[in-house]
Amino acid sequence: MSSKKQLLSLYKSLIRESQQFASYNFRSYAVRRVRDSFRENKFLMDVEVIRTKLIEGQNNLELIKRQALISQMYKTDKLVIENMNS
């Protein structure tokens, strides 16, 4: 798979998994960090740096999956802001 396709796939996976957090605050933070990180590294050209960032992103994806699963075990009441969006 080309690195561009890998990066797009990784981005979508990170966003999708970040939206699985039970807590609104964690969910918002995770999505914002993913977007900011990809924007920050948008203009990277060095293949080795891109490869390193790709591995780092895959490790972060696994971390987010574990943390989202744990957060779903300990759900709390929705915040006021979440109830406004419903």
pLDDT at 85: 61
Asked if residues 82 and 24 have their Cβ atoms less than 8 Å apart, the reply is yes
Give per-residue pLDDT as tens, 20-63.
Answer: 999 999 999 999 999 999 999 999 999 999 999 999 999 999 99
